[in-house]
Amino acid sequence: MERRVLVTGASRGIGRAIAVELAASGFRVGVNYRTNEEAARAVCDQIESAGGKADLLPFDVSERAATRASLEADIEKNGAYWGVVVNAGVTADGPLASMKPEDWDRVLTTNLDGFYNVVQPALMPLVRLRDGGRIVTISSYSGVHGNRGQANYSASKAGLIGATRSLALEVAKRGITVNSVAPGFIATDMVASLPVEEVVEQVPLRRMGQPEEVAALVGFLFSERAGYITGQVLSVDGGLG
């Protein structure tokens, strides 16, 4: 039986690496993107050229009604998702004292509300499969420890961790696991503006992480071998702790 999984924010960076990893594990991957259709199609092409299966799913996770409509139409047509990776996220860094209301709202709406907007309409179809399932959220080192200039981002990712742990308790009896992966400094567009030499000095392993290293952990959490792991926050941060 073919298992479908959804990866939000899958057109680049960590999301792209996760989509490719899960496709290589035999899943049919829903590649969600917001605006960059060309990049998302390139992900699908990469997956399909390697013998995998992928579908494009354009929607903005911060738009609740549109997200629900898109997911409900897709599920009705192609069947429920066996797994979901909540990866889509944005930043708008700055000191809280001068942070604009729209920067607070945009980060919380995308990073935290996006969890509800995506998982809630996908959840009962997943339960009705009666086949277990996997949900993984991509949180952050900042959500675990906080970070200067990221009150909005840290709040959104800490909230995501709380939601993950609560949902894990709600669906455990269904055999569905729910975990969070908390990356540290990963070489993506999101950290491209940071001073690399200063950043790596903070990391015990003295280097940036790669998206594929995050994806490898997500791939493991989607495997049968990870069936007894749930409600956990697992860091990929080079030893930042």
Q: Give pLDDT tens digits for 46-72.
A: 999 999 999 999 999 999 999 999 999
Handedness of CA 84, 34, 79, 21 (dihedral sign): negative
* Residue pLDDT, tens place only, 89-108: 999 999 999 999 999 999 99
At 55 the three-state DSSP class reads strand
**Which of 115-124, 187-196, 226-235 comes out lowest in average pLDDT?**
187-196
Which sequence positions are flagged as catalytic? 153
The chain-wide mean pLDDT, for the chain, equals 96
Dihedral sign for Cα atoms in the order 216, 222, 223, 226: positive
Domain ranges in the chain are 4-236
| 160 has a pLDDT exceeding 80 | yes
Q: What is the pTM of this model?
A: 0.96
Task: Determine which of 112-126, 132-146, 187-201, 210-224 has the lowest per-residue pLDDT on average.
Answer: 187-201
CB 157 within 8 A of CB 164: no
Position 198 scores a pLDDT of 81
Q: How far is CA 140 from CA 28, 75, 98, 145, 214, in A?
A: 26, 29, 23, 9, 11
Q: Is the pLDDT reported for residue 196 higher than 90?
A: no
Work out the burial of residue 239: count CB atoms within 10 Å of its CB; fewer than 13 is exposed, 13-18 middle, 19 or more buried. exposed
List C-alpha distances in Å: 215 to 16, 33, 238. 9, 17, 15
* pLDDT band at residue 25 using 50, 70 and 90 as cut-offs: very high
Fold assignment, 4-236: Rossmann fold (3.40.50)
Nearest-CA neighbor of 176 among 1, 3, 2?
3
pLDDT at 144 over 90: yes
Q: What is the pLDDT of residue 213?
A: 98
Q: What percent of the chain has pLDDT over 90?
A: 92
Is the pLDDT score of 194 beyond 80? Answer: no
User: What is the dihedral angle through the alpha carbons of 33, 37, 39, 42, rounded to the nearest 10 degrees?
Assistant: 110
**pLDDT, position 195:** 75
